[in-house]
Amino acid sequence: MTLEELEQGKAASLAEIAAVTDAAGVEQLRVKYVGRNGSIPALIKAMKDVPKEERPAFGKAVQAWRAEVEAALAAKGAGAATGGAKAEDVDATLPGRWAAPGVEHPLSRVIADTARIFGKLGFTVADGPDIETRFNNFTALNTPDHHPTNDRTDTFWIDSAEIRGEGTARTAEDLLLRTQTSPVQIRTMLANKPPVRVICPGRTYRRDTTDATHSANFHQIEGLYVDTKPVSLADLKSVLAYFAKEMMGDSVTVRFRPHFFPFTEPSVEVDFSCHVCKGKGCSVCKQSGWIEVAGAGMVDPRVFKHVGWNPDEVSGYAFGFGVERIAMIKYGIPDIRWLYENDLRFLSQLV
């Protein structure tokens, strides 16, 4: 092919590109002219047959043809992507389209904030399975077999005739959907030696009628600190007071009330002063100035015995609270069901 024929081929290809009107046509011409088996790559391969003295001019012309074709294809491709619109067809005065970023779900935010706060105090995050054994969920936590939580009216027991887990066949009477994240504390103590300092966030399940404040499927975060050196109720109070201020604000204080839990002795209910009314009384705290948040206490010695630890050599505390409850208090959410409906009108308010 002579230089004159190259110029004719270039003119024809540019005219063909100029006439195309859609993206498919642009792609066809790209393959035809500059694709792996296209016309221009074929000319480059054929340069070995061009006389030596003509190769520089021939190669320069082929490369110029390739550059112009690629530029024309790129311009046509951009035009096809915008429907052939030209710069003068764009109205720059029109308002832009705001692409709203996603927001973190309030439950995820509370869990992450809790892990961050307790992480500053040396707590690590421990995890465990949703399907638990009777031993981990009840027996090791000092809950007797006749306790109401063992009934099928309160707990989701697995109905399969036999399930294999952790290398052992277990009957349906031995497996359940965990009613709390405390079994993770049992697993942690069974797998480690003291000291242990963990928080256990996770999903829990109870047979409960769903309403504005209850759900059969919810989240808990429980904490455990056990050491061979003395651990006191004062240590527990200081930790929860620190958590309250970090989560709810500096003005929040903590109140302990005597209570009973099978796995702690002594046991306490933990209240935070209402962060909305600053303890003066409002609809959020039902005019009491306080909001019940958590259960806590010193680990019962019988729990230590169940995991093979000597209660005369270790001591510690445990606490637990509902993630949904913290989220509802912190963000002023009146109905727990809002947290599960994935309504963007609600979630977009929590930026």
Instruction: Answer whether residue 69 shows pLDDT above 90.
Output: no
- Residues in CB range of 159: below 8 A, 6 or more apart: 172
In the DSSP assignment, the letter for residue 276 is: T
Q: CA-to-CA distance for 148 and 318, rounded, in angstroms?
A: 22
Q: In this structure, is the dihedral angle defined by the CA atoms of residues 149, 152, 157 and 161, taken in order, positive or negative?
A: positive
- For residue 198, name the pLDDT band (cuts at 50, 70, 90): very high
Whether residue 55 is found in the same domain as residue 197: no
Using alpha carbons, list the distances in angstroms from residue 130 to 190, 203, 218, 303: 18, 7, 12, 21
pLDDT of amino acid 283: 75
Residues 273-294, mean pLDDT to the nearest whole number: 82
Give the pairing type, strands 315-322 and 217-227.
Answer: antiparallel
What residues form DSSP beta bridges with 131? 177
317 inside domain? yes
Structural domain range at position 65:
3-89
Looking at the fold, whether 242 and 301 belong to one and the same domain comes out as yes
Whether residue 207 is found in the same domain as residue 296: yes
Average pLDDT over residues 180-202: 95
Asked if 121 and 256 sit in the same domain, the reply is yes
User: Do 238 and 337 reside in the same domain of the chain?
Assistant: yes
Q: Check whether residue 251 and residue 344 sit in a common domain.
A: yes
What pLDDT sits at residue 171? 54
Give the closest residue to 341 by CA, choosing from 106, 99, 156, 102. Answer: 106
pLDDT at 166 over 70: no
Residue 271: which CATH number?
Answer: 3.30.930.10
Q: Which of 158, 309, 161, 308 is nearest to 228 (CA)?
A: 309
83: phi > 0 → left, psi -120 to 50 → alpha, else beta; which?
A: left
Instruction: Answer whether residue 94 is part of any domain.
Output: no
The count of structural domains within the chain is 2
Confidence of residue 331 (pLDDT cuts 50, 70, 90): confident
Q: Percent of the chain scored above 70 by pLDDT?
A: 91
307 and 335 co-located in one domain: yes
Average pLDDT, the chain: 86
Instruction: Indicate if 194 and 317 belong to the same structural domain.
Output: yes
Within-domain flag for 155: no
Q: What CA–CA distance (Å, rounded) separates 298 from 319?
A: 9
